[in-house]
Structure 1
Amino acid sequence: MFSEKDFIAGQFNTIETASFEWSAPSNIALVKYWGKKENQIPANPSISFTLNNCKTITKLEVAKKSDVSSFSFDLLFEGKPKEDFKPKIQKFFERIEKYCPFLKEYHFKIDTQNTFPHSSGIASSASGMAALAMNIMSLEKALNPAMTEEYFFAKASFLARLGSGSACRSIKGQVVVWGKHAEIDNSSDLFGVEFSDIHPSFKNFQDTILLVDKGEKQVSSTVGHDLMHNHPYSERRFAQAHENLSQMKGVLSKGNVDEFIKIVESEALTLHAMMMTSMPYFILMKPNTLEIINRLWKFRTETHIPVCFTLDAGANVHVLYPENVKEKVLQFIQDELVDYCQKGHYICDQIGDGAKQLN
């Protein structure tokens, strides 16, 4: 089990130039994290499905430089300079410098792209920060070849968390737990850990993402997390997350899809209930979000097909279901739900394995 001190780097070799490339996926939380403490520490534990198709691909080129007084980087998004992304990268480097003291010794060229449209309403901060963290760890590995694989992935998750909390769940594993929980071995607030006891019922689980609203959210997730500090229901919510994660642990191990549906949908609605009962209060769901949910409930009642929804901090709906009912669910989406998606757009995805090195 690694502590924060373990991630403070020691002595390194020197290299003049290097190039790395990684992809990292987005993820969707089943038990939600909402509210955080200092240094990107979650107020409650969470568990997520790692996605497969919705991912960020980032290439990192590094070159040794003589001036070590400041960070130096160029940022390209889909081949073009992206100045408005640079402050977030600068802040990320400032947060991780303590653990990666070699950063100011190099000039970085960061070339990144998403496999899904940036304006699609799918959170790209998790996949983006995870991909960048993997590249930085590849550089550290080149500087310290004796590094173990376990340390490599744990520190990558640790660094990703400092860029975007949920990014730590996009590093390794089909199902990932982030946050200390009494019943999850080696669970930590500092990084995500792979949950491997998964029943075959959840292998190849599908996630079709219905793009209800592609616009920027009226309230950012960062602001929403901060509103949990004085929230009248925060302490009960944090306790509920621990309870639901305990239940989810057994559900995923035993393959109980019916209980999975109950927990996942309750968690989604609880997340939005916290938004609606904060001060100031806000609503990120749209009328079409509710229409989709009601039609999905009706479809499930009439057909007994095990399909459910979850939501992130936005209006889009993630439709989750086993692979063996894929054809019927996709037909239902085409027949009844696509009209409630912006421009009829949706993305078909499924459980994936995490970050992958591409060169």
Structure 2
Amino acid sequence: MLTEKDFITTTYNSIESASFEWSAPSNIALVKYWGKKENQIPANPSISFTLNNCKTITKLEVIKKSETNDFSFDLLFEGKPKEDFKPKIQKFFERIEKYCPFLKEYHFKIDTQNTFPHSSGIASSASGMAALAMNIMSLEKAINPTISDDYFYSKASFLARLGSGSACRSIKGEVVVWGNHAEINGSSDLFGVEFSEIHQNFKNYQDTILLVDKGEKQVSSTVGHDLMHNHPYAERRFAQAHENLSQIKAILSSGNVAEFIKIVESEALTLHAMMMTSMPYFILMKPNTLEIINKIWKFRNETQIPVCFTLDAGANVHVLYPENVKENVLQFIQDELVGYCQNGQYICDEIGNGANQLK
């Protein structure tokens, strides 16, 4: 089992310049994590579907510099300088310097773009930090070619987590577990691990994201996580997440879609219940979020088509369903749900495999 110390790089060569390019997807948690300990350690384990189409593409160019007293980087978003992103990258470099001591030796040009609209209300921090972590690991591999593939991906997930907790679930695998869990071999609070026991029923699972509200959240996820520290229901919630992860592990292996729906929808509502019962309390769902949920319940009841919803820490609704009912569900979305989306917008996605290096 890899520990934090294993990720501290001590020996490496030097190169004059290099460039790399990676894409990394967003992900949607089935069992949610809500609440953090120090150093981006989750208060409870989580499991997520890796998405395929909603991703960040990041190109990294590095040039050796003469002075090594500080971090040096330029940041472009969709080809244009993006000054308001820079503090987050600076903080990320500060957090990972202990594990990547070579960072100050290079000037970085980071050029990043999303395949989904930046203001769509889809969290881009997971895909963005995952893509950047993959590029940094490509640099590490260039200056230390002896590292193994397993180490490469585990450390990339470890680094991504230090930028954005859920980013560690966007590195590798269709389904990823993050956080120590007694029944999942190799699970760790430090990085995500691939969950491979997936029944055919969950292969190519679909996720259509209904963009209910594209504005900025009135309470950030970071603030929301912090409010779990003195939350009256926190300990019970953390225990529930362990229990639900045990159940969904068995469900994903057996292919029981009906039980999958129960756990996933319960987890989504529990996440928002934690927000509504924190102090100060807050609500991220919008009236149209609730309208969509009720429409999904009614449609499922009447048709017996196994469609369900999940939510992130926001108002948008992820509609999850097997590939073999795709035509019916998309027709239902078009007929009954699109009117609740801001400007009628939604994004069709499906399970993917994680980060990819681009030529």
Number of matched pairs:
359
Deviations 1:183-204 (A, max 9, x none): 0000000000000000000000
Deviations 1:299-326 (A, max 9, x none): 0000000000000000000000000000
Letter of the 2:228 counterpart = M
Distance of 2:18 and 2:2 partners within structure 1: 28
Deviations 1:39-94 (A, max 9, x none): 00000000000000000000000000011000000000000000000000000000
Q: How does 1:297-336 map to 2 (within 5 A)?
A: 297-336=297-336
Aligned twin of 1:229? 229
Aligned twin of 1:14? 14
Letter of the 1:222 counterpart = T
Aligned twin of 1:165? 165
- 3-state SS, counterpart of residue 245 of structure 2: helix
Letter of the 1:245 counterpart = L
Scaled by the length of structure 2, the TM-score of the pair is: 1.00
2:68 corresponds to 1:68: yes
Cα offset for 1:10?
Answer: 1.3
Aligned twin of 1:214? 214
Cα offset for 1:129?
Answer: 0.1
Distance of 1:321 and 1:315 partners within structure 2: 19
Aligned twin of 2:132? 132
Distance of 1:156 and 1:123 partners within structure 2: 19
Distance of 1:295 and 1:175 partners within structure 2: 28
- 3-state SS, counterpart of residue 208 of structure 2: strand
Deviations 1:162-218 (A, max 9, x none): 000000000000000000000000000000000000000000000000000000000
- 3-state SS, counterpart of residue 5 of structure 2: helix
Letter of the 1:229 counterpart = H
- 3-state SS, counterpart of residue 21 of structure 2: strand
Deviations 1:270-295 (A, max 9, x none): 00000000000000000000000000
Distance of 1:267 and 1:18 partners within structure 2: 44
> Structure 2, unaligned stretches of length 5 or more?
none
Aligned twin of 2:55? 55
Q: How does 1:81-120 map to 2 (within 5 A)?
A: 81-120=81-120
Q: How does 1:17-56 map to 2 (within 5 A)?
A: 17-56=17-56
- 3-state SS, counterpart of residue 208 of structure 1: strand
Letter of the 2:50 counterpart = T
Cα offset for 1:149?
Answer: 0.1
Scaled by the length of structure 1, the TM-score of the pair is: 1.00
Aligned twin of 2:143? 143
Distance of 2:282 and 2:17 partners within structure 1: 48
Deviations 1:86-112 (A, max 9, x none): 000000000000000000000000000
Cα offset for 1:146?
Answer: 0.6
Cα offset for 1:343?
Answer: 0.1
Distance of 1:188 and 1:313 partners within structure 2: 23
Deviations 1:197-247 (A, max 9, x none): 000000000000000000000000000000000000000000000000000
Aligned twin of 1:346? 346
Cα offset for 1:156?
Answer: 0.1
Cα offset for 1:269?
Answer: 0.1
Deviations 1:23-48 (A, max 9, x none): 00000000000000000000000000
